[in-house]
């Protein structure tokens, strides 16, 4: 475990911090109110060079190690949870392309991002299936000169906003979990229709409606890897690490808001500012420590990412980070509101939005129960 960052890493994190504060934060409440794609913020993230962090250097990306990556996502989330979440999904889609794609495919798909700042979404959820389970209802079937997809996906983040969608399909004719295969479908595909709304508690800027596929044509070169290769390949566990970073970045923002509020406000007839109240100091301490310990656990998990390139090991890393980051972020965002009091329920303060975002995005798979199950089994040396 080594968090001694190089000058280059530090500079990148400073950049992320500046983009979050100057570009993402000022637009976050608008995307929330309108439930629209954070297009301008994506653009700024790309301009700052942070859209290619998980693309290898040989393809023009930054090829960040997982620890620095996680720290970068955390910083973006401080400014706008929805932007950080979509950038993280895009970045994880790049990892799949890197793992599964041919040299030719990588050249094509990566250059879209590097040259043009085009985002790639990643769609996995299905109606009636537990989040995180492998796909069974979105079927990829061979046709003359390629494939078609039929079925439905839920929680299709960036639908209509990203340039391409990485769709997890079940290859026709493969039994059980042996046929999971990934297809990269471009936005303007006629066989793909948004079939549900996105009016939710939080994470409203992630715009994640249901999408229906009807004989959606897929060219041969859009399919990356062979059926089964994407199943439990270990890459998918990067999702949870990034989620954890997002919870922590958002919760840090909530804590900072609360600290700022109690330092600046004084209410008659209480003497002094709220910050001078010993109970408020205690609340702040409890929040800061809950957050910091979840952060350290998340960094620790990220720093061990390459120790074993295997789903089982990474399930534990993800489980450790996600269960504690979830708990800490829920605690901090709720307590921050409580400490400040009724005034911050107004939408002119950011706290209520962050509170909604955190309660929403902590629901993404694996949920706390499953995350703890993985950790417990690993501790007891039982099979996952």
Within 261-290, which residues bind its own copies (CB under 8 A)?
262-263, 266-270, 275-276, 278-286, 288-289
The region of 104-112, 163-171, 219-227, 318-326 touching its own copies under the rule CB under 8 A is 318-326
Residues in CB range of 105: below 8 A, 6 or more apart: 97, 221, 224
Q: Does 323 bind its own copies (CB under 8 A)?
A: yes
C-beta of 143 vs 345, nearer to its own copies: 345
CA atoms within 13 A on the CB side of 196: 18
The region of 42-50, 187-195, 245-253, 316-324 touching its own copies under the rule CB under 8 A is 316-324
Q: How far is the CB of 8 from its own copies (least distance, A)?
A: 17
Q: How far is the CB of 231 from its own copies (least distance, A)?
A: 13
Q: Which is it for the CA torsion 157, 123, 211, 115, positive or negative?
A: positive
Residues 354-383 that bind its own copies (CB under 8 A): 355-356, 359-360, 362-364, 367-369, 372-377, 379-382
C-beta of 1 vs 143, nearer to its own copies: 1
C-beta of 38 vs 366, nearer to its own copies: 366
Among 45, 330, 332, 350, binds its own copies (CB under 8 A): 330
Q: Does 130 bind its own copies (CB under 8 A)?
A: yes
Q: Does 7 bind its own copies (CB under 8 A)?
A: no
Q: How many CB atoms lie within 10 A of CB 8?
A: 10
Q: How far is the CB of 75 from its own copies (least distance, A)?
A: 17
Among 107, 178, 293, 306, binds its own copies (CB under 8 A): 293
* Rounded (10°) angle between helices 351-361 and 81-100: 30
- In DSSP notation, 246-261 reads HHHHHHHHHHHHHHHH
Among 79, 124, 179, 202, binds its own copies (CB under 8 A): 202
Q: How far is the CB of 186 from its own copies (least distance, A)?
A: 26
Among 237, 324, 332, 350, binds its own copies (CB under 8 A): 324
Among 66, 203, 216, 329, binds its own copies (CB under 8 A): 203
DSSP secondary structure code for residue 20 in this structure: I
Locus of tokens 């960036």: 158
Locus of tokens 């993280």: 88
The CA–CA distances, whole Å, from 65 to 71, 116, 128 equal: 10, 23, 36
Tokens of 379: 């501790």
Q: How far is the CB of 166 from its own copies (least distance, A)?
A: 19
Q: Does 111 bind its own copies (CB under 8 A)?
A: no
Among 18, 133, 143, 308, binds its own copies (CB under 8 A): 133
Instruction: Tell me: cis bond preceding 69? Omega within 30 of 0 counts.
Output: no
User: Nearest 5°: phi and psi at 142?
Assistant: -75, 140
Distance CA 232, CA 226 (A): 13
Residues 146-165 that bind its own copies (CB under 8 A): 155
User: Are the CB atoms for 121 and 157 separated by under 8 Å?
Assistant: yes
User: Are the CB atoms for 92 and 122 separated by under 8 Å?
Assistant: yes
Residues 331-350 that bind its own copies (CB under 8 A): 334, 337-338, 341-342, 345-348
Beta partners for residue 182, in sequence order: 168, 224
C-beta of 32 vs 44, nearer to its own copies: 32
């Amino acid at each position: 475990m080594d968090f001694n960052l190089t000058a280059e890493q530090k500079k990148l994190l400073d950049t992320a911090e500046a983009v979050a504060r100057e570009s993402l934060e000022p637009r976050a409440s608008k995307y929330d109110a309108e439930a629209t794609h954070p297009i301008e913020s994506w653009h700024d993230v790309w301009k700052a060079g942070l859209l290619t962090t998980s693309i290898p250097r040989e393809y023009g990306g930054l090829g960040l190690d997982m620890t620095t990556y996680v720290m970068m996502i955390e910083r973006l989330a401080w400014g706008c949870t929805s932007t950080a979440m979509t950038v993280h999904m895009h970045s994880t889609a790049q990892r799949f392309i890197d793992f599964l794609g041919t040299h030719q495919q990588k050249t094509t798909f990566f250059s879209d991002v590097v040259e043009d700042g085009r985002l790639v979404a990643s769609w996995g959820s299905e109606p009636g299936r537990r989040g995180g389970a492998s796909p069974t209802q979105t079927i990829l079937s061979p046709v003359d000169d390629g494939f078609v997809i039929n079925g439905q996906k839920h929680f299709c983040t960036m639908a209509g906003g990203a340039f391409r969608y990485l769709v997890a399909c079940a290859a026709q004719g493969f039994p059980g979990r042996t046929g999971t295969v990934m297809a990269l479908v471009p936005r303007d595909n006629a066989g793909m229709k948004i079939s549900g709304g996105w009016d939710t508690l939080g994470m409203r800027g992630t715009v994640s409606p249901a999408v229906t596929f009807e004989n959606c044509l897929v060219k041969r070169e859009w399919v990356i890897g062979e059926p089964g290769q994407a199943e439990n390949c270990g890459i998918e566990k990067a999702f949870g690490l990034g989620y954890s970073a997002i919870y922590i970045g958002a919760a840090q923002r909530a804590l900072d808001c609360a600290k700022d509020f109690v330092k600046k406000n004084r209410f008659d007839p209480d003497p002094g500012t709220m910050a001078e109240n010993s109970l408020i100091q205690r609340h702040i301490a409890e929040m800061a420590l809950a957050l910091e310990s979840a952060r350290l656990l998340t960094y620790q998990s990220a720093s061990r990412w390459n120790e074993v390139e295997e789903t089982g090991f990474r399930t534990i890393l993800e489980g450790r980070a996600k269960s504690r980051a979830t708990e800490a972020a829920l605690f901090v965002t709720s307590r921050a509101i409580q400490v400040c009091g009724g005034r911050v329920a107004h939408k002119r303060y950011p706290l209520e939005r962050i509170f909604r975002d955190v309660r929403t995005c902590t629901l993404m798979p694996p949920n706390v129960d499953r995350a703890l199950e993985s950790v417990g089994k690993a501790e007891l040396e039982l099979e996952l």
